[in-house]
Amino acid sequence: MIVRQTIPFNTQLKYRLVRQLYFSGVASCNDLSESLGKSLPHIAKSLYEMIDEGFVIEKGYAPSNGGRPPLIYSLQPDKMYILSVAIDQLYTRIGILDLSNQFLFQVETIELRLLNNNDALPLLAKALTRVLSRMGKDRKKIIGAGLSMPGFVNTRSGINFTYLHTNSKESLRDYLVRQLHIPIYIENDSNVLALAELKMGLAKGLQDVMVIDIGWGVGLGMIVNGGLFRGHTGYAGELSHIPISESNTLCECGKRGCLETEATLRVVAKKAIEGIRSGKVSSLRPLNNPEKMSEAIMSAANQGDQYAIELLTEMGFKIGKAIAILIHIVNPELIILGGRGTEVGKILIAPIQQALNQYCIPRLSEHTGVKVSQLGHDAGLLAAAALVMEKFGETQP
């Protein structure tokens, strides 16, 4: 099914201007001319037309360094909206954002277990339909839905080969288009997190950056030569399944020794429950809900609980060992720690750096920085929205 954007711009430049203003927030005519490679008169003409159409507004003057300061422009926030969906193995968060990345309603979180769950896709479609129904007549302003999800995702065919199968020849994307009647864009969660960092975060303006997605797994989004790198078949970045563990524990992927069996928030939650029940001294109490347990561990660690810090330090060191492999192969300028684990980013930095000191050749690692993402708790939702805007103006296959 071919789905076309519902916003009727008469030139591709206007779509490009929307994308550029979305990711930059505000910009002057000169900024837009330089970034888009178009002449100032051409940019100014399109901007004035878009002001008349209600898509762009003047935001005053930029700070002056001497001389006449330029006018700056931004998008009209309520002219278009994006349905943003951040899916992990256990929970799904759903939000609707305006063009200034503000949520229209409180973000909805539903428990949705992906593994061995034939009902996961119908339940997801039902939840998305319910959220969209809250828009009323403004639903027509939705320009698309971005889905950030784990697994082997083929963005071109719209299929997730790991989760959310349709049990037919219909792709995941086509199934959701049929249910929701809006353009659908799907991408691996770590890749889309790297896209958000590239467009709006610490990787903006950089060339070679590795984004580590710390959560129920350990994902990797790769920015190479200033663009998202997916590899030959689109599945690059499966850091979780590097055979780095010596425990011989069977991973969900069917292999043994994967990093995912040793260094994820889910593993930390399990170890914490076992440790507390065996007599470890801690303010923590065992919880059966893995999300609540991991949140409790991170909260306790930030308040100084030594057992929680010990568990996260162990996880950080093992992740650092995997990052050392990346540095030897890619030689990036920056490593960004993203995902749920950013809540304890300050705690993870030290053991990761310790692992880099132990396993990296200094000449390779000395110019690689390690920073914690600044995108915050809603990074997955912001990333999914960025996916939609990155494709804004394109026709879906």
Structural domains in the chain plus CATH codes: 12-78 (1.10.10.10), 80-192+380-390 (3.30.420.40), 206-374 (3.30.420.40)
Cα–Cα distance list, 369 to 320, 342, 344 (Å): 13, 16, 18
Cα–Cα distance list, 5 to 100, 144, 222, 304 (Å): 20, 8, 29, 50
Cα separation, 86 vs 149, whole angstroms: 6
Cα–Cα distance list, 161 to 155, 166, 285, 310 (Å): 11, 10, 37, 36
Q: Is 49 exposed, middle or buried (0-12, 13-18, 19+ CB in 10 A)?
A: middle
The Cβ-side half-sphere exposure at 89, using a 13 Å CA radius, reads 19
Which runs of E-coded beta strand occur in 276-378? Answer: 334-338, 369-372
Q: Is 170 exposed, middle or buried (0-12, 13-18, 19+ CB in 10 A)?
A: middle
Over its length of 397 residues, how does the chain's per-residue pLDDT go in tens digits? Answer: 444 445 567 789 999 999 999 999 999 999 999 999 999 999 999 999 999 999 999 998 887 776 778 899 999 999 999 999 999 988 999 999 999 999 999 999 999 999 889 999 999 999 999 999 999 989 999 999 999 999 899 988 999 999 999 988 899 999 999 999 999 999 999 999 999 999 999 999 999 999 999 988 899 999 999 999 988 888 888 888 888 877 778 787 778 888 888 899 999 999 999 999 998 989 988 888 878 899 999 999 999 999 999 999 999 999 999 999 999 999 999 999 999 999 999 999 999 999 999 999 999 888 999 999 999 889 999 999 999 999 998 876 5
Comparing CA positions, the residue from 178, 182, 164, 181 lying closest to residue 123 is 164
- Structure token pair of residue 374: 């600044």
**What's the pTM value of the predicted model, to 2 decimals?**
0.89
Cα separation, 12 vs 69, whole angstroms: 29
